[in-house]
Protein backbone atom coordinates (compact mmCIF):
# COMPACT_ATOMS: atom_id res chain seq x y z
CA UNK A 1 0.00 0.00 0.00
CA UNK A 2 2.87 2.32 0.77
CA UNK A 3 4.12 1.86 -2.82
CA UNK A 4 0.76 3.36 -3.90
CA UNK A 5 1.04 6.21 -1.36
CA UNK A 6 -1.74 4.72 0.75
CA UNK A 7 -1.33 4.94 4.49
CA UNK A 8 -3.54 2.43 6.27
CA UNK A 9 -4.99 3.25 9.69
CA UNK A 10 -3.77 1.17 12.63
CA UNK A 11 -7.01 -0.62 13.48
CA UNK A 12 -8.93 -3.10 11.36
CA UNK A 13 -12.15 -1.23 12.14
CA UNK A 14 -10.74 2.00 10.71
CA UNK A 15 -9.28 0.14 7.70
CA UNK A 16 -12.75 -1.21 6.94
CA UNK A 17 -13.96 2.31 6.15
CA UNK A 18 -11.52 2.76 3.25
CA UNK A 19 -11.86 1.81 -0.40
CA UNK A 20 -14.74 0.15 -2.15
CA UNK A 21 -16.97 -2.59 -0.73
CA UNK A 22 -16.58 -5.79 -2.79
CA UNK A 23 -18.62 -8.98 -2.65
CA UNK A 24 -16.58 -11.90 -1.40
CA UNK A 25 -17.31 -13.67 -4.68
CA UNK A 26 -15.52 -10.80 -6.49
CA UNK A 27 -12.46 -10.72 -4.20
CA UNK A 28 -9.03 -10.64 -5.79
CA UNK A 29 -5.42 -10.56 -4.65
CA UNK A 30 -4.65 -7.41 -2.70
CA UNK A 31 -8.13 -6.86 -1.28
CA UNK A 32 -8.60 -6.56 2.47
CA UNK A 33 -10.99 -8.96 4.17
CA UNK A 34 -12.60 -8.16 7.51
CA UNK A 35 -13.92 -10.29 10.34
CA UNK A 36 -15.62 -10.06 13.70
CA UNK A 37 -13.94 -12.66 15.87
CA UNK A 38 -15.00 -11.18 19.21
CA UNK A 39 -18.62 -12.30 19.10
CA UNK A 40 -19.86 -8.69 19.20
CA UNK A 41 -20.36 -8.17 15.47
CA UNK A 42 -17.77 -5.39 15.35
CA UNK A 43 -14.77 -5.62 13.03
CA UNK A 44 -11.66 -6.54 14.97
CA UNK A 45 -9.60 -8.62 12.52
CA UNK A 46 -8.27 -8.07 9.01
CA UNK A 47 -6.55 -10.20 6.40
CA UNK A 48 -4.94 -9.57 3.02
CA UNK A 49 -6.24 -11.66 0.11
CA UNK A 50 -3.39 -13.65 -1.46
CA UNK A 51 -5.24 -16.15 -3.67
CA UNK A 52 -8.72 -16.82 -5.01
CA UNK A 53 -9.74 -20.21 -6.41
CA UNK A 54 -13.42 -20.36 -7.35
CA UNK A 55 -15.21 -19.62 -4.06
CA UNK A 56 -12.16 -20.25 -1.85
CA UNK A 57 -10.53 -16.99 -0.78
CA UNK A 58 -7.12 -17.41 0.85
CA UNK A 59 -5.84 -14.59 3.05
CA UNK A 60 -2.76 -13.89 5.13
CA UNK A 61 -3.27 -12.57 8.64
CA UNK A 62 -1.76 -12.53 12.08
CA UNK A 63 -2.97 -15.17 14.51
CA UNK A 64 -2.47 -14.90 18.25
CA UNK A 65 -1.32 -18.51 18.62
CA UNK A 66 0.36 -19.35 15.31
CA UNK A 67 1.83 -16.01 14.18
CA UNK A 68 1.38 -14.93 10.56
CA UNK A 69 -0.51 -17.60 8.61
CA UNK A 70 -2.62 -18.16 5.51
CA UNK A 71 -6.25 -19.16 6.11
CA UNK A 72 -9.33 -19.76 3.99
CA UNK A 73 -12.83 -18.35 4.03
CA UNK A 74 -13.92 -21.99 3.70
CA UNK A 75 -12.81 -22.62 7.29
CA UNK A 76 -15.88 -22.66 9.53
CA UNK A 77 -14.40 -20.14 11.98
CA UNK A 78 -13.74 -17.51 9.31
CA UNK A 79 -16.89 -18.30 7.36
CA UNK A 80 -18.91 -17.45 10.47
CA UNK A 81 -16.82 -14.38 11.38
CA UNK A 82 -16.72 -12.83 7.88
CA UNK A 83 -18.01 -9.24 7.65
CA UNK A 84 -16.79 -7.63 4.41
CA UNK A 85 -14.17 -7.27 1.70
CA UNK A 86 -12.74 -3.92 0.61
CA UNK A 87 -10.71 -2.96 -2.46
CA UNK A 88 -8.22 -0.26 -1.57
CA UNK A 89 -6.13 -0.37 -4.75
CA UNK A 90 -7.98 -0.57 -8.07
pLDDT of 1 over the 90 cut: no
Q: What pLDDT score does 3 carry?
A: 87
How high is the mean pLDDT of the chain?
94
Mean pLDDT throughout 32-56? 94
Residue-wise over 48-68: b if at least 16 C-beta within 10 A, else e? ebeebeeeebbbebeeeeeee
Q: Where residue 2 falls among pLDDT bands split at 50, 70, 90? A: confident
Q: What pLDDT score does 4 carry?
A: 86
Amino acid sequence: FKNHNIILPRTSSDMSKLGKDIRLSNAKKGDLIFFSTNGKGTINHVGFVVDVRNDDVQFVHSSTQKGVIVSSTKEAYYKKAYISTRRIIE
